[in-house]
Amino acid sequence: MAGQRREDWQTLGGIELPRISGPDEAGSPPYTRGIYDTMYRSRLWTMRQYAGFSSAEETNERFKLLLERGQKGLSVAFDLPTQLGLDADDELSEGEVGKVGVSISCLDDMRTLLSGIPLDKVSTSMTINSPAMVLLAMYVAIAEEQGVSQEEVRGTIQNDILKEYIARGTYVFPPSPSMRLITDVFEHCAENIPAWNTISISGYHIREAGSTAVQEVAFTLANALAYVEAAVEKGLDIDIFAPRISFFFNCHNDFFEEASKFRAARRLWHDLITTRYSPSDPKSAMLRFHTQVAGVSLTAQQPLNNIARVTIQALAAVCGGTQSLHTNSYDEALGLPTEESATVALRTQQIIAEESGAANVVDPLGGSYLVEELTDTIYSQAMEQILEIEKLGGAMAAIEAGHQQREIHESAWSHQSQVESGDRLIVGVNHGLLEEEGMPPLLKPDPTLGERQKSKLANLRSNRNNDEAMAALEAITNGAKTDENLFPLVVNALKADCTLGEIMNAMKEIFGTWMAPSGV
């Protein structure tokens, strides 16, 4: 978040602004109005732009550009092989290296990605799940090389495997060992990396897959309860790990529903954690979240219209009290964001922050009959769905039975049917059509990256101490047979120049792999 803000809160015309509009205080349970008593009057949300494409070198250049133009935190997008724990030279990676994110196969790739970026001053979010432990270990190792201690690094690892089974598909291991890896990260970070958010429980991808706003809240919080229960069963105290749990939500086009959704989610999480676990630390029941505007809402037709969509969605997230925000670029339905489109997306946040007045009052929509009614309705309907999931045995059992997947498929089908029938209008798609000439300039990934990464990895393997590397990998395999925390073993393997794919394969020997039910 940004630094100190002014104290003379007035409208553009000079009318003095109240701090809140209603009887319930922000910063107090159940946090419907916001988790901090002054919200953006003290500090703005963290402005992040999700970035990652092609090589670590090119992505590093984009990070530095965004930081120079006012971004306050990094958000790393990894390519598909990295998300699946595959090295760039794996035969399954062919044709996908660097296509939808940055390729990271070894510690040196992470070193290049973060070169010249002060990790004691910048907060970093990494959208990575199955191999989350490995990527976080890389980050910590590079921070140590910079002279930054584990206590100083700040950021978030997504580390949310349940939504992968539900909606996104980049799972590797079966649910049980996947949960073990997540709670290992909880435990290690609680003891060694205290300022790191150990999980970002994601409703974003659930919504992108076609869920409703209520389903997004319900399925996300049901997953969160499963993580909490797994950590408690591991023997962790609720107040040791719960304050570092964060959430990641989508923000779609229905302005009032989305702002109300965030208010309802805060209240619901507080009530669920308080009644079930009776934490001593208020932060354990405080829902902190990052928001990304809805990629699925962007259209390839008339792409400049997406600037308006992004603005509406970003404003809803701010009015709903987000702690961190990513605004999509207008050309993302066509390809990776260009420098120009990424800058427009960042400027959209800055204009909302400094020119719209939305950040000048706590809970600006509080007291609206519509917003208060929607908040209550989303709360109650989401609670009903959470209780239904619990009747099925909890989030993991429901996922294994395909429950959430079926619900999302039905919602997605309903929406698409409305678009195709014309009952729901999408400007540029089935309404307000234009003859379009040409396309905006698009960013194209380096087609030679795959071969260059193969050469780099071959070089690494030929120059490292292979006896050390194999011993480090064997230690991971042996550790996977026990209850030993695997995080320190992964760090040791990385320092022995083991690759991401090798570390994941060492775990696969014990954990195996898994194919989730489709939900059809």
312: CATH: 3.20.20.240
Confidence at residue 519, expressed as pLDDT on a 0 to 100 scale: 47
- Of the candidates 45, 72, 50, 16, the residue with the CA atom closest to the CA atom of residue 320: 45
Confidence at residue 45, expressed as pLDDT on a 0 to 100 scale: 96
243 within some domain: yes
Other beta carbons within 10 Å of 355: 10
474 within some domain: no
- Of the candidates 396, 351, 21, 372, the residue with the CA atom closest to the CA atom of residue 223: 396
Cis (ω within 30 of 0) for the bond into 81? no
φ and ψ of 36, to 5 deg: -115, 145
Q: What is the pLDDT of residues 340-364, one digit of tens each?
A: 999 999 999 999 999 999 999 999 9
What is the average pLDDT value for the chain, to the nearest integer?
A: 94
- Of the candidates 415, 409, 442, the residue with the CA atom closest to the CA atom of residue 430: 415
Domain that holds residue 328: 39-365+372-421
Confidence at residue 277, expressed as pLDDT on a 0 to 100 scale: 97
**Would you place residue 3 in the very low, low, confident or very high pLDDT band (cuts 50, 70, 90)?**
very low
Taking the C-alpha atoms of residue 126 and residue 155, their distance in angstroms, rounded to an integer, is 8
Mean pLDDT of 5-32: 82
The 8 Å CB, 24+ separation contacts for 464-471 are: 464/496, 464/497, 465/496, 465/497, 468/496, 469/493, 469/496, 469/497, 469/498, 469/502, 471/496
Domain count, the chain: 1
Report pTM: 0.93
409 within some domain: yes
113 within some domain: yes
Q: What is the pLDDT of residues 457-483, one digit of tens each?
A: 999 999 999 999 999 999 999 999 999
Confidence at residue 445, expressed as pLDDT on a 0 to 100 scale: 79
439 within some domain: no
Taking the C-alpha atoms of residue 127 and residue 246, their distance in angstroms, rounded to an integer, is 13
Q: What is the pLDDT of residues 490-514, one digit of tens each?
A: 999 999 999 999 999 999 999 999 8
Q: Which amino acid is at 460?
A: L
426 within some domain: no
Q: What is the pLDDT of residues 51-108, one digit of tens each?
A: 777 899 999 998 999 899 888 789 899 999 999 999 999 999 999 999 989 999 999 9
**Would you place residue 518 in the very low, low, confident or very high pLDDT band (cuts 50, 70, 90)?**
low
Cα separations in angstroms, 84 against 99, 169, 176, 377: 14, 9, 17, 38
12 within some domain: no
22 within some domain: no
Residue 4 in this model has a pLDDT that exceeds 90: no
- The answer to whether the beta carbons of residues 70 and 350 sit under 8 Å apart is yes
